[in-house]
Amino acid sequence: MSDDPAVELEARLEEQESFEPPASFVEQANVSDEGIRERFAEEWPECWTEAADLLTWDETYDEVLDDSDAPHYEWFTGGSLNASANCLDRHVANGAKNRAAIKWEGELGETRTYTYGDLLNEVEAFAASLRDLGVEEDDVVTLYMPMIPELPIAMLACARIGAPHSVVFAGFSADALATRMNSAESEYLVTCDGYYRRGDALNHKEKTDNGLRGVEGDVETVVVDRLGDELTHFLGEHAHDYGELVEAHEGASVEPVSRDAEDMLFLMYTSGTTGEPKGVKHTTGGYLAYTAWTSQAVLDVKPEDTYWCAADIGWITGHSYIVYGPLALGTTTMMYEGTPDYPERDRLWKLIEKNRVDTFYTAPTAIRSFMKWGTEYPERHDLSSLRLLGTVGEPINPRAWKWYYKHIGNEKCPIVDTWWQTETGGMMVTTLPGIDTMKPGSAGPPLPGVDAQVVDANDDPVEAGEAGYLTVQKPWPGMLRTLYKNDERFIDEYWREYSDPDTDEWVYFPEDGAKLDDDGYITVLGRVDDVINVSGHRLGTMEIESAIVGVSGVAEAAVVGGTHDVKGEAVYTYVILEDGQEPTEKMRERVVEGVEDAIGPIARPEEVIFTPELPKTRSGKIMRRLLEDVASGAELGDTSTLRNPEIVAEIQAQVNED
């Protein structure tokens, strides 16, 4: 043992495998009923009225769950409500008009605060504007915007008039925008002129215009002026200025449209095993009830809190836990436009100190970057306002967990490691922060009312200590209802694997592997399909492959994930060129550009490896496992079943050389 208390503490932490919630947290936790899991199991599905009761309904529902057409489950059937009225009007009516709803900070340091009253006014003005442009109930409105307040405003304005939104992450490429708009047959778009990244103004409007060239028909476009004079942009016949519209409709009163609980609230595209992104459909009643309930139970959100989920609203995390869940509960939700290391690596900690943030929710990849940068950055700031920490998006390694616990939470904040997906709408497997013991690296038990189980290939539960497939054996309110206009693919993708339609038994398969611990905790191991997780973002290998084979001169491509110490996984591409093509630097650049143009910089390949052949089995199947081993620098698995075993060593030599 060392005499230095800091070293001693480090050593103790390293060995500690479980952590109890701190007493100071337990005392004030929203959920303190230790019997909640039992109670929810006994009362299932009626237990979910507890979630529905967090909302204000225009018409109460007749039935909690309708499973007559499984797996097309319906929740809170017969009920009706409006999401924007639940996130705004009722709080204003209950005396929270002057409470901050959104606190926003731009990358250059400018700030804006919208009270619930302000937010309602602007949402109504923009809802009226959308109507004027012709948007009707059930029309899909695409929102292609970075982290600026007009994004949640546009979402809520859509929700107010019953027009589902489809948010496309601003970092996605022009082609990705076009694909999603065409798939959703969306004729309306809200975008902006540009935004800041590391101090530089990015031209977003130009990218939007390039995307629109690939969209059929006229699109009415609204452009938010984020950059003022810094960037002039062209407004054509079908493009309108956001500021002018809102000004012209100032003071407008727009009655929230009463939506059926099962009416679509939004679409969110996500990656799957095929090249085509999947349009995940979420509904008004079940989704909103589920995000509100999990925000309360897991994130311990209280109206007087300042709550910060540092995700991007372009992903499901931002939809559920920056916008809908927190605003439904009437709390103050923070938004930050920029990168965590601009102008310095303490930007996030500075924001926490300045805003006295209570809860901070981020991704393991971010925590691994913070770790790499060192403790001096959080140490510069007073983080004592923090009460709870959370992570989401990928498995968190115990070392990163402990670093977060000690250096951000000062050993006083529980950490919730929340497993869920775009399709689940909200959290599914996590500890409850005021009740459960935490085990770094293991997400925890399933939430109350969630029947998540680790099973073997026959859908039989595995023994404690064993690994298998994660499944959800009963429906839950936040679940996706279908893939947009593609019920068949919905069933194929999520319900085929373990269900038995003959006995009407339906089991949801999220395509993740997991291990069941002795105490019933679930340690998520990662995807078992051809989807990779780069910095908590889901990328389909097929999508990337089809972008690469679209580059002229490329004959074939295989894409796999290789382990990466910050990103979790990184994109490795193996490329076969057409005869006569040379593996030049130029060619490499074209492959990288091809991927960025089709998807966006998040999919940028870590390495492009040219090879004359891919390792294939005798039946001609690409041995992806081997390519993954090569990418990760791991020991190679069995190569004896290959038709061309010699190629593996050749590829490996090339990777080592780079």
Q: What residues line the site for ligand WT7 (CB under 6 A)?
A: 270, 316-317, 392-395, 417-422, 443, 510, 512, 524, 526-527, 533, 536, 538
Between 92 and 429, whose beta carbon lies closer to ligand WT7?
A: 429
Between 64 and 288, whose beta carbon lies closer to ligand WT7?
A: 288
Between 272 and 340, whose beta carbon lies closer to ligand WT7?
A: 272
Phi, psi of 418 (to 5 degrees): -100, 115
* Helices assigned H by DSSP within 101-236: 116-133, 150-160, 174-184, 204-212
Q: What is the nearest approach in angstroms of ligand WT7 to the Cβ of residue 280?
A: 8
User: Two tokens at 422?
Assistant: 């775009």
CA gap 612, 577 in Å, rounded: 7
What 3-state DSSP class applies to 600? coil
Between 256 and 468, whose beta carbon lies closer to ligand WT7?
A: 468
Strands (E), 129-276: 141-143, 165-167, 188-192, 194-197, 200-203, 220-224, 239-241, 259-260, 264-270
Q: What is the nearest approach in angstroms of ligand WT7 to the Cβ of residue 312?
A: 11
Q: Between the CA of residue 341 and those of 345, 350, 402, what are the distances in Å?
A: 4, 11, 22
Q: Taking Cα atoms as reference points, which of 560, 520, 278 lies closest to residue 422?
A: 278
Q: What is the nearest approach in angstroms of ligand WT7 to the Cβ of residue 266?
A: 14
Residues 508-542 as b or e (16 or more Cβ within 10 Å = b): bbbbbebbbbeeebbbbbbbeebbbbbbbbbbbbb
Strands (E), 473-553: 482-483, 512-516, 522-527, 531-534, 537-540
Q: What is the nearest approach in angstroms of ligand WT7 to the Cβ of residue 132?
A: 35
- Name the DSSP class of 240: E
Cα pseudo-dihedral 625, 421, 319, 406, rounded to 10 = -80
Between 211 and 393, whose beta carbon lies closer to ligand WT7?
A: 393
Between 254 and 544, whose beta carbon lies closer to ligand WT7?
A: 544
Between 78 and 275, whose beta carbon lies closer to ligand WT7?
A: 275
CB 470 within 8 A of CB 496: no
Q: What is the nearest approach in angstroms of ligand WT7 to the Cβ of residue 426?
A: 9
Q: What is the nearest approach in angstroms of ligand WT7 to the Cβ of residue 242?
A: 28
Q: What is the nearest approach in angstroms of ligand WT7 to the Cβ of residue 451?
A: 17
Between 355 and 421, whose beta carbon lies closer to ligand WT7?
A: 421
Strand partners, 276: none
Q: What is the nearest approach in angstroms of ligand WT7 to the Cβ of residue 566?
A: 16
Phi, psi of 80 (to 5 degrees): -140, 150
